[in-house]
Structure 1
């Protein structure tokens, strides 16, 4: 998508390298600024992150929550699904009613069954609607 297009710049121009999850978060934050005037962030340190903090973007007065992930070597689809479920549970504790969108950037196609992972994590309850979008497919 956007990261791929940035790599296709002409005349040997420098580009933005999207190497890890933090790069994807920074790029997403910049893109969100095009559509949202008020973007809050919620930082937390999940047990799976080995002490590193994670960021959730809170949009529309917190009614829309965005989590950004990136696949990498050593992160299995099962582990990624577990991380997403942990993120969903955390979001459930901080928001009374919201829509949670989980965006997973998978540039190398590491997720063998992206639709299955999306379906596995998606859910709708009275308090939380969870949707997962993996790209590119």
Structure 2
């Protein structure tokens, strides 16, 4: 199984670290209060975590809410106030006559649990919302990168049990890609229709309905090199993104005779995990 994307790994680690930080902070307002060294160490730990988490959250409402869980405001105090004065006691608290309306602590930690939980929830949304289709693209990339090795085994000397597929044109390539996709996914839809635009009909090569990923295949030839492949993919993708299920597009370019002069540049220029839909180009030789 391909490795999870690095962003997902980082966020999973941040969520786990947040739980440890919460456990540590929860002990401060118990019977044995922490000393100043413990408070300062935990403050640094949280702020380091907070800065790392912010780097994973894109601009927008979720980022604003994440920051508010720490910053608070003039009236509503949140984690920042607690970390600054975790042992500050309320002037209205009477230890001789405890009253739940006037708790002992100015910034009770129990109120902070919800703020930490909200920050973890936001990280979870970012992790799943941004990496689901990217994970699929990574998995498909890992599988189809191995296509030359797969074909080499089938064509190995002495192998008279299974024939190597004949790939002489794009139709042959599509049959092979379809077969591999069926090994990986239950719902593979070939030639799925795209809504018409200006009366023109279009079909994607394959749609993975359960993930929202469209697969397009290209097989190079002397007249289909870097520039032409890039232009055709850009035109097709402009149409494909109108498909109601499209969340990501991957172009599988089979180039056994090396008509692509700069495969790395083609992949880099047309691959974007952050676009809508996400895109990926894979040149296979």
Give the alignment's TM-score, normalised by structure 2.
Answer: 0.41
Q: Select which of 213, 220, 228 maps to 1:64.
A: 213
For residues 86-108 of structure 1, give each alpha carbon's deviation from its aligned partner in whole angstroms, at most 9, with x where no partner exists.
12111112146511111111111
- Aligned partner of 1:82 in structure 2 is 231
Structure with the largest fraction of strand? 1
> For residues 245 and 204 of structure 2, what CA distance do their matches in structure 1 show?
19
Q: Select which of 184, 194, 204 maps to 1:35.
A: 184
Structure 2: runs of 5 or more not aligned: 1-147, 194-201
> For residues 9 and 31 of structure 1, what CA distance do their matches in structure 2 show?
23
- Aligned partner of 2:283 in structure 1 is 134
Q: Select which of 19, 27, 45 maps to 2:168.
A: 19
Q: Which structure would you say has the larger RCO, counting Cα contacts within 8 Å and 6 or more residues apart? A: 1
Q: Select which of 251, 257, 269 maps to 1:108.
A: 257
Structure 1: runs of 5 or more not aligned: 45-52
The 1:17/1:9 distance shift into structure 2, 3 A limit, reads farther
In the TM superposition, what is the alpha-carbon distance from 1:8 to its structure 2 partner?
2.4
Structure 2 residue matching 1:86: 3-state secondary structure? helix
Structure with the largest fraction of helix? 2
- Contact 2:213/2:247 (CA < 8 Å) preserved in 1? yes
- Aligned partner of 1:5 in structure 2 is 153
Single out whichever of 71-80 and 58-67 deviates more from structure 2: 58-67
> For residues 19 and 110 of structure 1, what CA distance do their matches in structure 2 show?
14
> For residues 78 and 98 of structure 1, what CA distance do their matches in structure 2 show?
25
Count residues in correspondence: 128
Structure 2 residue matching 1:18: 3-state secondary structure? coil
> For residues 109 and 71 of structure 1, what CA distance do their matches in structure 2 show?
8
- Root-mean-square deviation (CA, aligned residues, Å) is 2.4
> For residues 175 and 188 of structure 2, what CA distance do their matches in structure 1 show?
13
> For residues 38 and 97 of structure 1, what CA distance do their matches in structure 2 show?
14
